[in-house]
Structure 1
Amino acid sequence: MVISQVPRTILWQFLWKTSNILYLRKELRIVGQLEGCLASLPRQLNLCGRPLRLMNEEAHFLLKNNYCELLSCSDLASPPTKQSADNFKEIQNRAFEEQRLLVKEEKMQQILRAGEKILEGKRRKLNKEAAKSGNEPPPLTLEQAVDEEIRRIPELTQANALVQIFTGDPVRFHAKYIAICLPFEGLLTPFQIAVHARVAVSVNKKVLLCTVNSDSRVIYKYLEWLDAKREKMSQETIK
């Protein structure tokens, strides 16, 4: 069993291996405190994952009784080298690419599971448009409806990642805005604007489209999607 020690004003001892954490809990009744972020449940503080942080007394007990050895993480006491920073960036990019593929696959599976409902909705829309024009609605198969939805899955990239903006203490308050970083000279289609606005609605937040101009100044555009009920309330407030 190996415990890593992080150099700080007060030394912290961490245990990383799952089997060792379970052994401490079952055999030695040492619980410790989980400090890590769960990959499946990020951005929350109720459930944490590895590593397990040990009190000084707990670490002393384990060392005294030869249950473990202590390794000092001296690399954390100084700034990272260029090589270590490049290695970290490479690992980060590889992890992001793996997550991107998994997210896209999950979206495709969701569309396939809801194929019948998607087909029903698209046929209803086509029938409505055909009734207005007086023409017969075009034929539509399940495969065509599903393929169309799959092609509309937005591509996940680091450039369009969402950044939460808090107007108060993040521990006490939810974020009020989500910032979407865009290139300065990039063009937004109406479809992309609708996508960004609806994303904000789904998480009950407002959108800031942010960019950096040629003078290196940050500029942004405020965007909010109003449904019929909220738009009516907004108009009544203005009156």
Structure 2
Amino acid sequence: MIKLIFVHGNIFVYDIEDWSALRKAHRIVGNIIGSTSSIPSLPLKLMPEEALLLVEKELASIWENRNTASELPDPAANLEDSLLEAQQKEYRQLRKRQLLCLIDNIVEKRRSMGDHRSKEEILNDEINKSSTVTKENMIWPIFLKDPIQSLSAISTDLISSQTTTLRLVIFKDLWQRGYYITSGEKFGGHFLVYFGDPVTYHAIFIVKCVDSETTFSPTELISFGRLGVSVRKRAVLASIKNGKASYMTINWIDA
């Protein structure tokens, strides 16, 4: 079963195999929020609706690490220094192996410039000049497992309070229809809906969840409809009628 980790009100996935299963087998996309500079990386942050759906379908369970920072074991407090020391040793050895292949040419050039130190001294000098690893340029690992192993299962109540029955019903209905779904916050809605994986497909709908008794002014309807046209997506109002999900598409037709 997929393990969802509850941290400060948010749901995360840290395991790469769980991430792969969510996306490929269950059409759960989430939002990758890792901090690497070149490519997206874990952890994956899930919307409340995604997490609740997974729990309801018995595909995942929610866990929380109840340890505080002050309870962490001493080795964790020295993690940065130990990582730095290990990388300094490793890179120095790597650089030494590289320079040994070039040392004869380096020594010859140094001799021509009046440097008559021994080969070993010149080698150490070159290593010291080109093998500096600091806290600013060191490589940090991406942690995918909790070494403390102190997770406790929690109920879905904390997650349910972050969404509404309406949004959950609409999300589940769209998911059951075979769509991929992501957050629509950036486009003025609740969800973006895709025919396939967002990596290869553009969103086709911007879905805004509204109460079935909600009254809209003409200006509000026009604004939402034009928004959909401007980003080449259909603007959809979603509500619950007679206990079922109901949808209304706003089509903007130029005169």
TM-score by length of 2: 0.43
Which one has more relative contact order, counting CA pairs under 8 Å at least 6 apart?
2
TM-score by length of 1: 0.46
Query: Which has the larger helix fraction?
Result: 1
